[in-house]
Structure 1
Amino acid sequence: MRGVLFAISGGFFLTLQSVANANISSAIGTWQAATLTQLTGFIVALLIMLLVRDRTYREMRHVKPLYLSGGAFAALILFSNMTAVHTLGVTLTISLFLIAQLALALVIDVRGWFGMVRRRLNVTQLVGVAMMVAGVVLLKW
């Protein structure tokens, strides 16, 4: 249940962040907004880490270089998201982002990329993705 609550919270925060970032980028520019968002995210994460007194940060030096790309991806995600919100609106942007995430997640699960356990793809998963795509078509229509 805890995972479900965090997933739902993450979805809410992603949507709120998309709207805030689009507004910020209108005022100061997209890359400037991405920089500001990354900076404030770093500060909040650092403060939370210090408040909970989590000392595992010392293990950061053992993180594989491939996985350090996550922060670089975040900058590209922010840019893509802000640009899409300005062009498509919030609903369509988030819908397409979710479909893209789900499609890549299925590929990662099936292929076992990045050290993930390989999982079999089943028909219901494909139907679910198809239904999401159909939902976006209906939203756009």
Structure 2
Amino acid sequence: MKGILFALAGGFFLTFQSVANATISGQIGTWQAAAMTQMTGFVLAVLIVLLLRDKSYKQIRGVSPLYASGGLLAALVLFSNMTAVHRMGVTLTIGVFLIAQLVAAVLIDQEGWFEMSKKKIGRTQAAGVLLMIAGVVVLKW
């Protein structure tokens, strides 16, 4: 149940962040807004680590460079998201982002990429993706 609550919170936060970032990027530029967002997120994360007194960051040298590059991907996500919000609006942007995330997640599960255990993807999962695509098409009209 906690996982669902965190996923819901993440979805809400992503939407709010999309709107805030698009507004900021309209004022200072898209890459500048992405840098500001990354910086403020970094500051908050460091404060939380300090408050929790979690010393697991000492294991950072053991992290694969592939996975450590997640921050680079986050900058691209921010840029893409802000640009899409300006061109398509928040609702369509989030809908298309969700479909892209779901398709990527299905591929990762099915192929076992990034050291994830393989999971069989059946007709019901494929139908779910198709229904989401249909939902976004309906939203567009």
Q: List aligned pairs for 1:122-137, cutoff 5 A.
A: 122-137=122-137
Q: Which residue number corresponds to residue 106 of structure 2?
A: 106
Letter in 2 for 1:55: K
Question: 1:9-58 CA distances to partner (integer Å, 9 max, x unpaired)?
Answer: 00000000000000000000000000000000000000001001101010
Distance between the aligned counterparts of 2:69 and 2:95, measured in 1? Answer: 24
Aligned-residue offset at 1:69: 1.4
Q: Which residue number corresponds to residue 69 of structure 1?
A: 69
Letter in 1 for 2:90: V
* Off by >4 Å, runs of 4+ in structure 1: none
Letter in 1 for 2:22: A
TM-score, structure 1 as length reference: 0.99
Distance between the aligned counterparts of 2:108 and 2:35, measured in 1? Answer: 29
Structure 1: stretches of 5+ with no match in the other structure: none
Letter in 1 for 2:129: V
Give the alignment's Cα RMSD to 1 decimal. 0.4
Letter in 2 for 1:44: L
Q: List aligned pairs for 1:44-123, cutoff 5 A.
A: 44-123=44-123
Aligned-residue offset at 1:61: 1.1
Distance between the aligned counterparts of 2:123 and 2:109, measured in 1? Answer: 15
Distance between the aligned counterparts of 1:119 and 1:9, measured in 2? Answer: 25
Question: 1:100-134 CA distances to partner (integer Å, 9 max, x unpaired)?
Answer: 00000000000000000001011100000000000
Letter in 2 for 1:106: V
Letter in 2 for 1:60: I
TM-score, structure 2 as length reference: 0.99
Paired-residue identity, %: 64
Distance between the aligned counterparts of 1:12 and 1:28, measured in 2? Answer: 24
Structure 2: stretches of 5+ with no match in the other structure: none
Distance between the aligned counterparts of 2:32 and 2:116, measured in 1? Answer: 34
Distance between the aligned counterparts of 1:68 and 1:51, measured in 2? Answer: 23
Letter in 1 for 2:80: S
The residue matched to 2:119 in structure 1 has which SS?
A: coil
Letter in 1 for 2:56: T
Aligned-residue offset at 1:4: 0.5
Q: Which residue number corresponds to residue 32 of structure 1?
A: 32
